[in-house]
Amino acid sequence: MVHQVTGFSDALLAWEQWNLTDFDYKSAQVLALKSEIESQSVPLAAVATYHLEQASALLSEHHLMAGPTGETNELYAAGRGVALVIVDDCEEKVPALQTATAMITAALLAGNSVQLCSDDVQFNTLIADAAKQANLPTNLVQVASYDAAQQLLFCDVRSAGYVGNSQTAQAINLQLAKRDGAIVGLVAETDLATMNVANDPHLSLRFITERTRTINITAVGGNATLLELGSEAH
């Protein structure tokens, strides 16, 4: 238990730094991760490529909102915190790992750190090695055994993904619902024949939180800006 708590603390610190970077930086880092994955598995890399493209269209730009004169208001996406991705043993192995890769990619692009829990040693090694070779920030992506998920669910994870069967998905969802604190939604894939999660173009939005940034341009020396706006009106 101590090891998992320590690992979670490291992942939380990694998220705090990762979440401060802009989308272009995150995208470049995840692109490097995808390239390393591609050297080992083209099918997994294809899913990562798809979500890189979709997230770029969804998250790369801040949205300017209406506000009073002398004030700018921006809506933007930020990561929630540590995302836990749990992969059960599945008969449909390739679709299961593609879905897990989609979740990892989307969670990272959304600004989260990732803790992967799986008993697939080959997949765990692939993800861990790819993260290292891509020079991702230390502890941004961590891997552990499937059993470690039960301990990590008691930590302050802010996003969760699960690939496996409906019964376990319901049990995880119930455990998350009983926790105190922030509400954590579960992204679950239990139908690997359709792979709805991996094919969802909006998957990255399920790992974000929306934030607003307000700047009082008058308070930061924006009087000249206001005068300029006024002169343009005339």
> Which pLDDT tens digit goes with each residue over 201-217?
999 999 998 766 666 66
Question: Residue 60: what pLDDT?
Answer: 77
Name the stretches of the chain with pLDDT < 70. Answer: 1-6, 62-73, 75-76, 211-234
Instruction: Please give the pLDDT value at position 147.
Output: 95
Structure tokens at 106: 């989307």
Lookup result for tokens 């390739």: 94
pLDDT reported for residue 220? 54
CB neighbourhood size of 46 (10 A): 14
What are 69-73's contacts with CB under 8 Å, separation 24+? Answer: 69/226, 69/229, 70/216, 70/217, 70/218, 70/222, 70/226, 71/214, 71/215, 71/216, 71/217, 71/218, 72/214, 72/215, 72/217, 73/212, 73/213, 73/214
- The pLDDT value given to residue 227: 47
Q: Give dist(CA 198, CA 51) in Å, integer.
A: 9
One of 3.30.497.10, 3.40.605.10, 3.40.50.300, 3.30.70.3000 is the CATH number of 2-233, namely: 3.40.605.10
Domain boundaries, the chain: 2-233
What is the reported pLDDT for 179? Answer: 85
Paired tokens of 64 = 């300017």
Question: CA 62, CA 144: separation in Å to the nearest integer?
Answer: 35
The identity of residue 129, as a single letter, is D
